[in-house]
Structures are given as structure tokens and as C-alpha cells.
A and B are shown apart, each in its own frame.
Chain A
Amino acid sequence: MSQPKNASSLLWGAVGLGGLGVLGTYFAAGHERFWANWVLWFVLMFTLGLGSLFIVALEHLVSARWSVPIRRIPERIATLLLPAIPVGLIALGALPVLYPGTRPEAAHHPILAGKAFWLSLPFFSVRTLIAFSLCVLGLWVLVGGSLRQDTTKDPAFNIRARKFAPAFMAIFALVITLIAFDWISGLTPEWYSDIFGVYVFAGAFLSGLAATALAVLYLQDRDRLDGVKGDHLYNLGAFLFAFTVFWSYIGFAQYMLLWYANLPDEVIYYKVRLAGSWRAITITLASLHFILPFFALVTREAKKDPKRLRRVACLMLGAHVLDMYWLIFPALGAKPFFSWPELSFALFFIGGILLWIRAAMEKGQDMPVGDPFLREGLEFRL
């Protein structure tokens, strides 16, 4: 077993190297850039964890059986919300630097003055804390309960989870909307779009699905998910396929309405993203987040082909990073920043996320062995 050890030390090395770069960014590359990167990776960690928790809750909500054997994987990835909380608390330091609504000048701004209370630093922080505690509640009930069921084998958990799932959907909608509106569109508080929360939700769900698919394939390669078949992979692939379309549907709907109305304070959001180098990034995003995965997954065979699914899942995670970068970084100026600070942040956080998920994958059972529906899920056929 030297290979996992090597991989582990490689990851620790990446985290250490990235950490140095992160510190260097703070002192050498300017606070704005540091905080923009920090917020980007906070949002990425958070959406990945929350998207995975959504998959878990969705299973309980609709009493899905097919996903019971692989439910432990999104449950483990959802624990990423726990390290995301300290990262988010540190990110509160970005508020006075990056978020115009929290600065004292906002009180004199003709548009922001009316939203001053909502955007102010105290209320912003309170909302974030509420979002965090709601997430912890969701984790406790859905993931904690499922882990405890491994030993108790008590079917009462399934009933409790089924009752809690509808409430969690409301919580989820609130939390993802708060994160999207506060942390992402709060960077441009004059601009707003009703559907922005749904747009971020689509990306979060996709990233959770992609991470789940990757982890399922990873465990399958190590023969740890005995009984999970192409039929299960097919469902994951079909979800990925459907939600690439959903993401682009929402993204384009938002763009088209703003483009049509052409109101200066609304359309500026896309104006900056369609000028200069951002234009190329926008087109790349549309291709990587929609066109490429759409055609890669369109056939029935592709959705259950492990090789294809692994590539598309990696692509979707990368596209989600690009999507959030595309949402956050224009706040820094007309020129997209990409250099050693961004790379070190990526090294640091990707390394950290992988270490966390690897550690989570080693703990406990690979399947919810106490779930009475596990057998039914294993017998799932399309």
C-alpha cells in the first residue's frame, strides 16, 4: 500500500506549497486579489458540499431506491461543509475590501442607500452564520443519522429523514440563495437578478453530482462498492446530462432577459463579461459547461461508460470552478487575473479538499449497511 501513501504525501506537499503561495499573495499581490481568491474557494467548497447534501436530501425526499447503495458517497462529500465553515468565517474579512455594500460610502449611494441595512457588515455576517448553522443542522440529521444507522440498523431513521427532507429543501433554497446573493452578487450590489440563486444552485448540484460520480468510480476501481452497476452509473450520468442543460437554460434565460431589456444598471453585468479577455472566458465557459458535456453524454452508452463519465465529471468540476471564477473575478477589474496567486490557491484548496474527502472515504462503511432499502437499491435495474 505504498501508492495511497505517496498520493497522500503528494497532496500534503501541494497544500504546503499552495499555503506558501496563499500567504505570499496576501503580502505581495494585494489584499483585493487575496480576498477574491479566498471567496472563490470558499464558494466552491460550500457549493460542492451543499450540492452533495442536496443529492442526499433528494433521495429521502422522493424515496429513491436506486441511489441507496451510493448514498454514502455524497454524504461523505457533504461533510466538506464542515471545513467550509471556518473558511467562510475567515472570508468575512473580505467584506470591507471587496463588497461595496459594507463600506460607509454605501449610505450615500443612491441605489445602495435603500439596501444599506441588508448589505451592512453585521447583518451580512449574521445571515452567513444562519446559513452555516442550517447546514450543520442538515448534516446532523441526514448524514449523522445515516452514519448512526450503520450500527443501530434502525429503520426509524428513514422515516425521520423522509419527514425532514421537505423541510431541508426549504432550508437548502434559503441557504443557496443567501450564499449566491450575498457572497457572489453582493460583489456588484447595484445589479441583481431574481434567478441568480437558481443559477448558482444548478452549478452546485452539478458539482456535487460530478464529485459523487468521480468518487463512485474511484471506489469501484478499488472494488469497494460491490453491486453498484452500470445502471447506477447511468442514473448519475443522466442527472449530469440533464443538469448541464438546466444550467445553460437558467444561465441563458437570465442573460436573454437582461440583454433584451438593456437597462444600463442591469446589462453592465454582461457588458464587462463580454468585453476583452472576459469574452473569451464567457465563450469557453458556455462550451465547457454545456456544449461539450451535452454531446459527450448524449448517447445512452456514454452515460454508463466509466471512462467517459470520469472525464465528463472532471470537466464539470473544472467548469464549475471556471463558472464561479467568471462570477467573482470581474469584481477586481476589466482584466482577468490568472497567475501564481490563483494557482497557489488552487493547489492549496484542491489539495485540502482531496485530503478531506480521502480521509472521509476511509471512515466507516462504504454503503449505508443499516438502510433497509439497500438490497432493493442494489437490485436496481433500468
Chain B
Amino acid sequence: MSETSYSVLGVFDTPNALMRAIPKLRVAMLGTVEAYTPYPIHGIDEALGHRRSPLGGMVLVMGVLGALTAFGFEYWISAIDYPIITGGKAASSWEAFIPIMFEVTVLFATFTAGLGMLFLLNKLPFFGHPVLSSKAISGITRDRYALAIEAEDESFDSAAAAQALRDAGAVEVEILPAPDRSPFLTSDYILRTLGGIFAACVVSGLAIFFLTKWFPLLAPMKYMQDQPRLNAQKPSTFFKDGHGMQRPVAGTVARGYLPTATGTQDAAAALVNPLPRTKEVFAMGRKAYTIRCEVCHGALGNGMGSLTAAYGGKPANLQAQQFRDYPDGKIYWAIVNGKNAMPSHAADLTDSQRWAVVHYVRALQRAQNAKDEDLKVVAP
């Protein structure tokens, strides 16, 4: 079969003739009656028996869905996932969500209206409706009014349809072939699309590269960086010595960092750890140890930290008998004053953090040298 006839087009001279013909053709039941006119004709929807477009309902549903999506998303972001208090408002303030809910409602609604019309209702993409290549099309887009009887199934009788149109008053009748519904996504089409995207990327990339090279842009906003202030590690004319960063005033210690000197290590042996062995203290000690000590002394305290291999240093193996026998005070003294290559951590750790580290080191030592009674199950 070379060509299926898809529809029969009848051309009328006046809109009134067209409107009179519609009911006659509809009762003939030869196929779907469709009208092609250069401008909208009042009452033609009712005459053709078009049911109400479902687009309005789709838009309403998607609009409401857009509002709910935006609300849920914002609520999750600002009240659950990353709650930051700004402006003294509760993290879940619905008032702040409304503008974005409004925008997303409009976005969902317009996309549904546009894309829903094109793809769901007009059934795009399909190229070349047969009416567009008919002989009558130039008249239809200007001053002629056409009715088409379109095939609903295989039993379409184009001769009967043509006769019916003539009987209804059509001045010209034309039989149209079936529309081209060949697949849309051919490999050729995909290749050309991808090629086009690639070419566009290359052109715009090169353009941006050379444009920014030849016409240097203004610096982006960096007011926060440029504000008048003292930067650590940077020169400054504010102080006489020309440094941005200043040493603490001689003889002063920040709150919580006392004591800074405890005499000799042997004298410090008498110090008693003031912190209780609670879960919170061990957690604090573990955190401080991980940040300050682990890089050299290792996660287990055995002196196999990640820096050991890199720099060939030999940090103390805290699991050695010598250190297991150390009183708490001597470990504390080493943290405060440093020992051998180890620098002082007095400025890095508060006093309670230092003692918490001592507890944690004790826990590490005990964990590597467990006794039989440690295996006893502690009644909860």
C-alpha cells in the first residue's frame, strides 16, 4: 500500500457555511470532524463537540504541587537539614518560604501549561501535519475555512467523506495522505543534536576564553576581603613592628589555659588528675588527642602516626613500659612544656583538655595491655 488516505479536506467560502456544515458532517459519523480556520470562530468549540480541555485541571494540580514541593524543600533545608537562625527568626518560619513557594507554583504551573499543551495534548513532536502540505493551506491561513473529516480507524472511506463534504456545501475537496509519524529520535537526529551542542560548547568556550583574556573583567565583589582589618600572617602598618599578628602581652595567659609552667617533670609527678573518668571527659580527651597528638603518636598511642613515615621523626611510643609507668602528672607536664622534639601544647589545649588527654592516653594504654578482669561483663 503506497499511501493511506488520512483525511478529506473540504474548503468553504464563509464561516457561516462552515458552521452550517458541521452538524451535517457530525451526524454522518464518517470520522472525526476538525475545523481549520484563519481565526477563531465563536461557538465552533461547541459545534464541534470539543470537550473541555483538561489543561486547566492539570495546571491547578501542578501549581498546588509546586507550592507543596517548595514548602517541603525549604522546610527540610532550613528547619531540618541545616538549621541556621537568621535575623532572630525561628528556623521553620513559614513567612520566609512564601515568595519561593509563589515562584515555584508559577514555575510548575507555566511549565505544565506549556509543555502539557505541546506534548500531552497536541502530541508533539511530529513533523509535517498533512494539512500543512495541502493545496488548500494558503487559503486556510488567509480567507478560507476548511473542515476535515479525519480517519478514526482502518475502515475510513475517503470517497464517502468527500461526497459528504460536497453535499454539505464544500467548494473544493482534497484527499490528504496519512501524516508522517516515523520515529522522532533517529540516530541521524541524535547525532546532529549532539554535534550542535558540541559546536556551541566549543564556540562559547573559546569566546569566553579570549574575551576574558583580551578584556579583563573587573574583580568580583570582595569587600569582605578588602575591609580595613588586621590579617594574621600579613604585614600591617597599624603596629610599630609592622606585623598584623601580635604576641600576647608579656606575663599574661588566656583564661582556661593556666598553668603554663609546672617546674620540672619530676616535680609535676605529684600532680593529680582533677577530672573524673566520665564518658564526656573521655570524649573530650579523644577529640583533643585526635586533633593534636594522633598525627605523631598514632591512633593507638604506639608512636606510629602518619607523620612518622613522612619525616622520619621518632615520637614516643606511649605503649612502652616507661610511659605506662609514668604518673599522670608527668604526661601532663609533657603536654604543657613539650619534650625533646615535641613542642608545647599549652597554647592549643585548655587545662581541662590537657587532663582529658591524659585520661585518654591512660585508656589507650589499658586497651593495648588489657588484664583478665577487664573482660568481665559489667552488669548494666
B95 to chain A, nearest CB (A): 5
Quick one: closest A residue to B53, CB to CB?
A: A300
B161 to chain A, nearest CB (A): 31
Tell me the total A-B contact number using a CB cutoff of 8 A: 19
Q: Indicate whether A299 sits within 8 Å of B56 (C-beta atoms), given known contacts A260-B87, A262-B87, A381-B42.
A: yes
Q: Indicate whether A262 sits within 8 Å of B88 (C-beta atoms), given known contacts A298-B60, A299-B56.
A: yes
Q: Indicate whether A256 sits within 8 Å of B99 (C-beta atoms), given known contacts A298-B60, A300-B56, A381-B42.
A: yes
Quick one: closest B residue to A295, CB to CB?
A: B60
Distance A256 CA – B87 CA, assembled complex (angstroms): 13
Distance A336 CA – B95 CA, assembled complex (angstroms): 25
The answer to whether B95 and A255 have CB atoms under 8 Å apart is yes
Would you list which residues of chain A between 294 and 315 have a CB under 8 Å from chain B?
298-300
A224 to chain B, nearest CB (A): 25
Interface status of A191 (Cβ within 8 A of chain B): no
Partner of B95, one of A259, A299, A381: A259
Distance A381 CA – B43 CA, assembled complex (angstroms): 10
List A contacts of B98 (CB < 8 A): 252, 256
Quick one: closest B residue to A299, CB to CB?
A: B56
List B contacts of A300 (CB < 8 A): 52, 56
Would you list which residues of chain B between 72 and 91 have a CB under 8 Å from chain A?
87-89
B93 to chain A, nearest CB (A): 8
Distance A298 CA – B63 CA, assembled complex (angstroms): 12
Interface status of B96 (Cβ within 8 A of chain A): yes
Distance A255 CA – B99 CA, assembled complex (angstroms): 12
A61 to chain B, nearest CB (A): 27
Distance A199 CA – B52 CA, assembled complex (angstroms): 36
List B contacts of A262 (CB < 8 A): 87-89
B370 to chain A, nearest CB (A): 59
Would you list which residues of chain A between 260 and 284 have a CB under 8 Å from chain B?
260, 262
Would you list which residues of chain B between 11 and 42 have a CB under 8 Å from chain A?
42
B88 to chain A, nearest CB (A): 7
List B contacts of A298 (CB < 8 A): 60
Would you list which residues of chain A between 23 and 77 have a CB under 8 Å from chain B?
none
Quick one: closest B residue to A300, CB to CB?
A: B56
Would you list which residues of chain A between 313 and 352 have a CB under 8 Å from chain B?
none
List A contacts of B95 (CB < 8 A): 255-256, 259-260
Would you list which residues of chain A between 238 and 262 have a CB under 8 Å from chain B?
252, 255-256, 259-260, 262
B330 to chain A, nearest CB (A): 57
The answer to whether A260 and B96 have CB atoms under 8 Å apart is yes
Distance A381 CA – B87 CA, assembled complex (angstroms): 52
List B contacts of A381 (CB < 8 A): 42
A276 to chain B, nearest CB (A): 20
Distance A260 CA – B42 CA, assembled complex (angstroms): 50
B44 to chain A, nearest CB (A): 11
Quick one: closest B residue to A381, CB to CB?
A: B42
List A contacts of B88 (CB < 8 A): 262
Distance A259 CA – B93 CA, assembled complex (angstroms): 10
B168 to chain A, nearest CB (A): 25
Distance A255 CA – B87 CA, assembled complex (angstroms): 16
Q: Please list the 5 inter-chain residue pairs (A to B) with the smallest Cβ-Cβ separation, ordered nearest first.
A: A381-B42, A259-B95, A256-B95, A252-B98, A298-B60
Q: Would you mind naming 19 contact pairs between A and B with Cβ atoms under 8 Å apart?
A: A252-B98, A255-B95, A256-B95, A256-B96, A256-B98, A256-B99, A259-B95, A260-B87, A260-B89, A260-B95, A260-B96, A262-B87, A262-B88, A262-B89, A298-B60, A299-B56, A300-B52, A300-B56, A381-B42
| Chain B contacts to A: CB under 8 angstroms | 42, 52, 56, 60, 87-89, 95-96, 98-99
| Chain A contacts to B: CB under 8 angstroms | 252, 255-256, 259-260, 262, 298-300, 381
Query: What 13 additional pairs, Cβ within 8 angstroms, besides A255-B95, A300-B52?
Result: A252-B98, A256-B96, A256-B98, A256-B99, A259-B95, A260-B87, A260-B95, A260-B96, A262-B87, A262-B88, A262-B89, A300-B56, A381-B42
